[in-house]
């Protein structure tokens, strides 16, 4: 039995939605910075899931991973914003309009080898 997606708070997420799975720290493991999964969505449609230690870091990582490109404000439209509704994000501090993005802090799951074996059909 393979798991293709799960629903979290009415929002469907799947494996491809995780932008930085290498940063996952299972619940119960040493996690001094309290890295947790953040679900970024727009009107209930998943944008991505990011493992980070804060919402700001989650947004910056999402930008650096290319997950928020559609919210990038083109230079030609920047004057229309008058610095209102602009968030400068990522390593490049580029301007984004993220007013429609909602962020939910998810529970950090425990690692389960049995769940992984079960999902792989073994």
Question: Per the structure block, which two tokens stand in for 36?
Answer: 């947790």
**116 within a domain of the structure (yes/no):** yes
Structural domains counted in the chain: 1
Domain range enclosing 110: 6-68+99-120
Residues 73, 95 contacting (CB under 8 angstroms) = yes
**76 within a domain of the structure (yes/no):** no
**14 within a domain of the structure (yes/no):** yes
Residue 16 CB neighbours (<10 A): 10
Residues 23, 49 contacting (CB under 8 angstroms) = no
Residue 2 has pLDDT above 70, yes or no: no
**83 within a domain of the structure (yes/no):** no
**84 within a domain of the structure (yes/no):** no
Q: What are the tens digits of pLDDT across the range 77-116? A: 887 777 677 899 999 999 999 999 999 999 988 887 887 7
| Secondary structure tally for the chain: helices H, strands E | 2, 7
Q: What is the mean pLDDT of the chain?
A: 90
**94 within a domain of the structure (yes/no):** no
**82 within a domain of the structure (yes/no):** no
3-state secondary structure of 26: coil
Distances from the Cα of 58 to the Cαs of 20, 39, 64, 80, 89, in angstroms? 10, 9, 10, 27, 10
Q: Which residues are CB-neighbours of 68 under 8 A, at least 6 positions away?
A: 40, 47, 59, 62, 89, 96, 98, 101
What integer is the mean pLDDT of 40-65?
Answer: 97
Q: What are the tens digits of pLDDT across the range 19-35? A: 999 999 999 999 999 99
For the entire predicted model, the pTM comes to 0.87
CA–CA gap between residue 35 and residue 26 (Å, rounded): 9
**59 within a domain of the structure (yes/no):** yes
């Amino acid at each position: 039995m393979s798991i293709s997606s799960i629903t979290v708070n009415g929002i469907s997420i799947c494996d491809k939605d995780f932008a930085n799975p290498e940063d996952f720290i299972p619940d119960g493991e040493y996690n001094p910075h309290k890295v947790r999964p953040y679900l970024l969505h727009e009107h209930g449609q998943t944008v991505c899931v990011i493992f980070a230690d804060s919402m700001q870091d989650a947004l910056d990582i999402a930008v650096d991973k290319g997950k928020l490109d559609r919210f990038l404000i083109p230079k030609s439209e920047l004057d229309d914003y008058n610095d209102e509704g602009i968030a400068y994000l990522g390593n490049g501090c580029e301007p984004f309009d993220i007013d429609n993005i909602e962020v939910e802090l998810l529970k950090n799951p425990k690692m389960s080898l049995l769940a992984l074996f079960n999902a792989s059909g073994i």
